[in-house]
Chain A
Amino acid sequence: MLRALQIVFGILVVAFLILPIIAILPLAFTSSVFLTYPIPAYSLRWFEELVSADVWRLSIVNSLIIGGGATVLSTVLGTLAALGLRASSLPFAGLLRTLFLLPMVVPAVVLGVGMQIFLVRLGLASTYPGVIIAHAVLCVPFVVVSVSAALQGIDPAVEKAAMSLGAPPVTVFRRVTLPLAVPGVVSGAVFAFATSLDEVVITLFVAGPNQRTLARQMFSSIRENISPTVAAAALLLIVGTLCLAALAALLRRREKRAVAVP
């Protein structure tokens, strides 16, 4: 009885979690202009729309430019900071770590308002550098967390061993620390890119029409006149993020296997 109840509950929750995401996918292939079931016929017209309509094409290109820029910026800054945080001699390390994680906590709208006022004053509002910087702020925590985790997994004795075997500090970093941290850096970058790809709120505040990203375009499309193009874009995003997630998971597993010392 209890067992049956558990099974039913489990199935219901899994369905609640997964079905909505799956339900949107077939609608990307509908031939109708309505986002409803049953689907009259299958077609690729909405994908064509996605690449041929200027607003959609531009938004995809923008997402790649801004996501790429924010990923590079946040990965470089976050990786350096994670390496610095690792040194036991750093004072206020706990405080700094908290600062680095805060962009994940502060409500997006609040940060958006501040960013908007600030970037207007700097003359960076509605420019690519402005949007890239704003996105990078949001991406930084993911990189710091990911790289820190990878660095924490390195046994300090391994670096000491390299030193005792004749490697000067720079060589230890290049031949031992860095290769062992790379999976963390890559998965941090993947997280950063996924975060930028999905970001809407800050973009709403700091981007002009020329920096409209895919997520931002989907947002206004749902709000103003929803069409199956949104489903096609959603499919694109799902496939994209799942590929990135798989890549990150793969790297994490490799990293874990590599660091595991019995």
Chain B
Amino acid sequence: MGAFIAFQDVTKNFGAVTVVDRLDLQIAKGEFLSLLGPSGSGKTTILMMLAGFERPTSGAILLADKPITHLPPHRRQMGVVFQNYALFPHMTVAENVAFPLEMQRVPRAEITRRVERALDMVRLSPLKDRKPSQLSGGQQQRVALTRALVFEPDVILMDEPLGALDKQLREHMQLEIRDLHRRLGLTIVFVTHDQSEALTMSDRIAVFNAGKVEQIDTPQAVYDRPRTRFVAEFIGETNLVEGKVVEAGAQQAVVRVGETALNVSGEVSPGRDVSLSLRPERIRLGKEPAAANALNVTVADCIYHGDHMRLVLKSGTIELVARAERLAGDWAVGTEAVASFDPQDCTVLAS
């Protein structure tokens, strides 16, 4: 599958500040790509450049192999869903949804028909004559989505569209958008700072930090095999362990951490100082060694979290946090145990 949208060496400066730094990014047709990062990482600027509201300082943006870098927003055929929905406050729901069709000079009768069908699909027909201010947050969200979809654009861009909703509604809308993506085969670029949202919905996630891409991968790969320290820390919770590589093979290495040698996955050269990432839920606690890596540990603290416990484990100078299910038994403070984990769960991070 060739790239449908491509950023080629795109840089964006605001004054002396570089917000996007030499970005290369390919998005395939029909893909759901999330741009994930903390605020100020440049992800919204990338979306705004794609929509045409910002011009790159240098570089080119291509849509279906044609450069669109200097095309004004109204000729890009991209449906944008904004953070606060940006519904037209002086128009009714139906007028809002009809707007893009009017812009395309669709005949009156057809507009009416298509608006009705679109509103039916999101169960908003009874509200079609209301003004946006008379709708709930979730309803406004659905209107914004419908308005962006109704003119069948090539691409849908979403800028933190679920940020203003409460948790329950947000989770519901996540599934609704994912479902829409699958059913209609849309290409969606989705900006969010919420990692769980990105993990739930995306085909691929691009993790941004300070204007640069840290990693682009499937949700599983980003979570299980973070490439950098930033990705490991930004997505989920992790244990970071510092050590020195003593032995290295293909995708395999041995890293010395204090007194212990750990088998890890990743391509490194011997003698280097490296950081390792180990997810808490990958640590199995028991009385006997149960994997290639096994450390004798003492339970230093135990924090109750309802459905699970967080255990702080100590082994010499190493301190690890492990997640233990409630059913896995009680681990009183001071208990001696063995922490086991597989080499493929212990990832070497690019420093």
Binding site for B on A (CB under 8 A): 155, 157-158, 160-169, 171-172, 175-176, 179-180, 257-262
Contact = CB atoms under 8 A, between A and B. Distances in A.
A158 B86 contact: yes
A261 B53 contact: no
B223 interface: no
B86 to A, nearest CB: 4
B134 to A, nearest CB: 9
A-B CB proximity, top 7 nearest: A166-B103, A157-B86, A165-B100, A161-B86, A164-B80, A163-B73, A157-B82
Contacts of A172: 74
Nearest to A155: B86
B88 A176 contact: yes
Contacts of A258: 89-90, 131, 133
A260 B51 CA distance: 25
18 contacts: A155-B84, A157-B86, A158-B88, A161-B82, A161-B147, A165-B99, A165-B100, A165-B147, A165-B151, A166-B75, A166-B77, A166-B103, A166-B104, A167-B99, A168-B74, A176-B88, A257-B133, A258-B131
A156 B173 CA distance: 25
B10 to A, nearest CB: 19
Contacts of B42: none
Nearest to A258: B89
Contacts of B170: none
Given A160-B53, A166-B151, A261 B85 contact: yes
* Chain B: interface size category: 35 or more
Contact of B74 (A164, A179, A257, A260): A164
B74 A166 contact: yes
Contacts of B84: 155, 157, 261
A157 B83 contact: yes
Nearest to B95: A175
A35 to B, nearest CB: 49
A53 B288 CA distance: 112
Contact of A163 (B53, B87, B132): B53
A168 B72 contact: yes
A176 B103 CA distance: 13
B86 A160 contact: yes
B233 to A, nearest CB: 31
A160 B86 CA distance: 8
Nearest to B105: A166
A259 B89 contact: yes
B78 interface: yes
A213 B72 CA distance: 52
B6 to A, nearest CB: 20
Contact of A160 (B82, B89, B164): B82
Which of B85, B89, B104, B137 has the largest number of chain A CB atoms within 10 A? B89
A169 to B, nearest CB: 8
A171 B99 CA distance: 11
A179 B131 CA distance: 14
B133 A161 contact: no
Interface string B44-85: 000000011100000000000000000011111111101111
Nearest to B157: A164
A164 B88 CA distance: 13
Contacts of B104: 166
Contacts of B73: 160, 163-164
A260 B133 contact: yes
Given A155-B84, A157-B82, A261 B132 contact: yes
A194 to B, nearest CB: 26
A262 B84 CA distance: 8
A163 B78 CA distance: 10
B132 to A, nearest CB: 7
Given A258-B89, A262-B164, 20 more contacts: A157-B83, A158-B86, A160-B73, A160-B80, A160-B82, A161-B80, A161-B82, A161-B86, A161-B147, A163-B53, A164-B80, A165-B79, A165-B103, A165-B147, A166-B100, A166-B103, A168-B72, A169-B74, A258-B131, A260-B89
B87 A261 contact: yes
B346 to A, nearest CB: 45
A62 to B, nearest CB: 38
A165 B104 CA distance: 9
A155 B147 CA distance: 17
Which of B84, B86, B104 has the largest number of chain A CB atoms within 10 A? B86
B147 A261 contact: no
A253 to B, nearest CB: 12
Contacts of B78: 164
A252 to B, nearest CB: 15
Contacts of A161: 80, 82, 86-88, 147
Nearest to A160: B53
Contacts of B72: 163, 168-169
Contacts of B51: 160, 164
Nearest to A153: B89
Contacts of B100: 165-166
Nearest to A154: B89
Contacts of B87: 158, 161, 261
Contact of A179 (B90, B137, B164): B90
Contacts of A168: 72, 74
Contacts of B99: 162, 165, 167, 175
Interface string B90-103: 10000000011001
A162 B88 contact: yes
Nearest to B78: A164
Nearest to A163: B73
